[in-house]
Amino acid sequence: MESKQAQVEATMRLAPVIPVVIIDDVKAAVPMARALVAGGTPAIEVTLRTPAALDAIRAITQEVEGACVGVGTVLHAEHLAAAKAAGARFAVSPGVSPKLLDAADDSDLPLLPGAATASEVMHLLERGYRFLKFFPAVPAGGTKLLGAWASPLPQIKFCPTGGISLSTASDFLALPNVLCVGGSWLTPADKLKAGDWAAIELLAREAASLKG
């Protein structure tokens, strides 16, 4: 568990923002990932929300030097196994269930599990998790809730995701218990569809320069 936690922490410290990506066309995966890496955001979460996701992860893993690609929207053991087989380096879940945590214990794929309440955070701490996704960040309470957790739960570090934008990311990054944020604004659907990789690289550069 400690080895996997160290891997999650290292991934969270690669850049201030982890791009959260929904890919409909696998042909867009490699040039998109190259643009994100060139812009300074090498940790990329490809969500399992489309049929192209696993093929996209496989392509990025094989073809994009410097990318640390992970799988998002992991809900059960089968997702973990498929992500590992595709070459993912980390997994992210919107929440947790006992079965998912048991599967994660048996897998060597590091998991960044989601939590939205103090009770969920405490449960995950009992299971050995010190690095968590706070989701959905803005609807669940935003910076006020995360800031309130910093004192009673100082050993937990978060990647808040959900409703965060370029203009609000720095507010989260300024919190002592936040290592990075997750954001979907780096890969907007219109830019992916148009193949505007220069625009995506620029968005990545803006995100990579953020400070708390």
In this prediction, residue 211 has a pLDDT band, given cuts at 50, 70 and 90, of confident
Contacts for 151-155 with beta carbons within 8 Å, 24 or more apart? 152/118, 153/118, 153/121, 153/122, 153/125, 153/177, 155/125, 155/130
Span 112-164, pLDDT tens digits: 999 999 999 999 999 999 999 999 999 999 999 999 999 999 999 999 999 99
The CATH number of whichever domain residue 154 belongs to comes to: 3.20.20.70
Structural domains counted in the chain: 1
Q: Tell whether the model's pLDDT for residue 212 goes beyond 70.
A: no
Measure the CA–CA gap between 69 and 66, rounded to whole angstroms. 9
Residue pair 159/18 in contact (Cβ under 8 Å)? The answer is yes
Over residues 199-207, mean pLDDT: 98
What percentage of the chain carries pLDDT values higher than 70?
100
Q: Which domain holds residue 162?
A: 2-208
Contact 135, 159 (CB under 8 A): no
Could you please report the per-residue DSSP string of 156-189?
A: -EEEEBSS--HHHHHHHHTSTTBS-EEESTTS-H
pLDDT single digits (tens) 165-191: 999 999 999 999 999 999 999 999 999
Catalytic (active-site) positions = 45, 133
Average of per-residue pLDDT across 100-114: 96
Q: What pLDDT is stored for residue 103 in this prediction? A: 96
pTM of the prediction? 0.96
Q: Do 199 and 8 form a contact (C-beta atoms < 8 A)? A: no
Q: Which two tokens stand for residue 203?
A: 């968005």
Quick: pLDDT tens for 10-36.
Answer: 999 999 999 999 999 999 999 999 999
